Amino acid sequence: MDPMLDFTGKVALITGAASGFGRGLAAELGKRGARLVLGDINMEALDKLVADLEADGVDALARRCDVSSEDDCKAMVDTAMERFGRLDLAANNAGIAHGFIGVEDLTEEVLDQQMNVNVKGVMFGMKYQIPAMRQSGGGAILNTSSMAGIGGGPKIGAYAASKHAVIGLTRTAAVESGRKNIRVNAICPYYTRTPMLEGGEGLASGGEADKTLAMMAAGSPMKRIGEPEEIVAVMMMLLSPANSFMNGQAIAVDGGVSAF
Ligand SMILES: NC(=O)c1ccc[n+]([C@@H]2O[C@H](COP(=O)([O-])OP(=O)(O)OC[C@H]3O[C@@H](n4cnc5c(N)ncnc54)[C@H](O)[C@@H]3O)[C@@H](O)[C@H]2O)c1
């Protein structure tokens, strides 16, 4: 196997693994030899994913994990250590968005929901992943932020606040843990065609869906939104054992939006 994408024997934990980027990342890592501890709140979809992975010969297990719960985040790491005896890779990827709403109409409830999942999930995740990786001799953590973590997110202000916080936590953990051979980076995708966009309650669902998708596409120099596999490809590069000196970065995958 190409050593740049050889994950043989690595133990990888992924949250939000039942759908979208997390699901794609699980499949690609599994294909390349990683052993997987997968968490989500959607157990039906997660169990189905694990059954499919096992059918392909991947060593994977599913665990219910609500990332807003510190106990659940700890249990994910405990599971990896008990089952496999080590933790090499972690993708703190679970996240939620909220409906389009201006800053002047945001509510405390919406902000709390965003912070509870998007920020606590990353913080509680790293809190337990870092000691386990230290014990394993090092590792790599990938946190899923967003283009709304780098710049303003029009009409998604609470989401943007939470994704900025993800980058703050990422940089801090990177600086703290670099000497322990633990790299911590964030990925910042532009709008991408996953259930978060096109699902039943997705950002681009309902009667105005076509108009919303067209506006999202128009906002990018490439005049289209992303496809999930384009984001997963960069997630793989960020976690690659060959990518051994990138630390503390927030990488935009955005069709050129950040180049404006
Ligand atoms: N799709 C996009 O346009 C886009 C752009 C930038 C960033 N992101 C980020 O990418 C990440 C993955 O999103 P996606 O697009 O694959 O969406 P998705 O909705 O397809 O997948 C998200 C997964 O997270 C799970 N989840 C939700 N709340 C959870 C919780 N409390 N605990 C554990 N799991 C939970 C869901 O069940 C789902 O399986 C998110 O952090 C999202 O904010 C998405």
- pLDDT tens across 148-166, in order? 999 999 999 999 999 999 9
Q: Does residue 90 contact residue 13 with C-beta atoms inside 8 Å?
A: yes
In a domain, 98, yes or no: yes
Residue 260 domain-assigned?
A: no
- What are 132-150's pLDDT values in tens digits? 999 999 999 999 999 999 9
Number of the ligand 1 atom closest to the C-alpha atom of 193:
1
Res 208: pLDDT? 85
66 CB less than 6 Å from ligand 1? yes
Q: Is 190 a catalytic residue?
A: no
pLDDT category at 202 given cuts 50, 70, 90 is confident
Residue pair 56/30 in contact (Cβ under 8 Å)? The answer is yes
Q: Could you tell me if the CB of 138 is within 6 A of ligand 1?
A: no
The reported pLDDT for the residue numbered 135 is 98
Q: Check pocket membership of 184 for ligand 1, CB cut-off 6 A.
A: no
Residue 118 lies in a domain: yes
Q: What is the model's pLDDT at position 204?
A: 85
Domain count, the chain: 1
**CA–CA dist 166, 98 (Å, integer):** 17
157-181: average pLDDT: 98
Q: Is the pLDDT of residue 199 over 80?
A: no
Domain that holds residue 92: 3-189+226-248
- 20 CA to middle of ligand 1, Å? 7
Asked if the model's pLDDT at residue 193 lies above 80, the reply is yes
Looking at 136-227, list the stretches that DSSP marks H as alpha helix, in order from N- to C-terminal side: 157-177, 195-198, 209-218
How many Å apart are CA 124 and CA 127, to the nearest integer? 5
* Average pLDDT, rounded, for the chain: 97
* The pLDDT of residue 48 is above 80: yes
Band the pLDDT of 207: cuts 50, 70, 90.
Answer: confident
191-205 mean pLDDT:
88
pLDDT at 2: 85
31 part of a folded domain: yes
pLDDT single digits (tens) 94-144: 999 999 999 999 999 999 999 999 999 999 999 999 999 999 999 999 999
Biggest CA–CA distance in the chain, Å, is 53
Q: 3 falls in which pLDDT band (50, 70, 90)? A: confident
Q: Which listed residue (128, 159, 190, 191) is catalytic?
A: 159
Answer yes or no: is 29 within a domain: yes
Residue 220 lies in a domain: no
Report the nearest atom of ligand 1 relative to the CA of 196: 19
Atom of ligand 1 nearest to the CA of 192: 3
Q: What is the mean pLDDT of residues 202-230?
A: 92
User: Would residue 204 count as lying in a domain?
Assistant: no
Q: Buried (b) or exposed (e) across 201-231, using 16+ Cβ within 10 A?
A: ebbbbeeeeeebbeebeebbeeeebbebebb
Confidence of residue 5 (pLDDT cuts 50, 70, 90): very high
Residue with CA at minimum distance from ligand 1 atom 7: 146
Q: Is residue 69 part of a domain?
A: yes
CATH no. for residue 128? Answer: 3.40.50.720
Pocket test for ligand 1, best of 14, 15, 19 (most atoms within 8 A of CB): 19
Say how many residues make up the chain: 260
pLDDT of residue 53: 98
Q: What percent of the chain has pLDDT over 90?
A: 93
Q: Provide the whole-model pTM.
A: 0.98
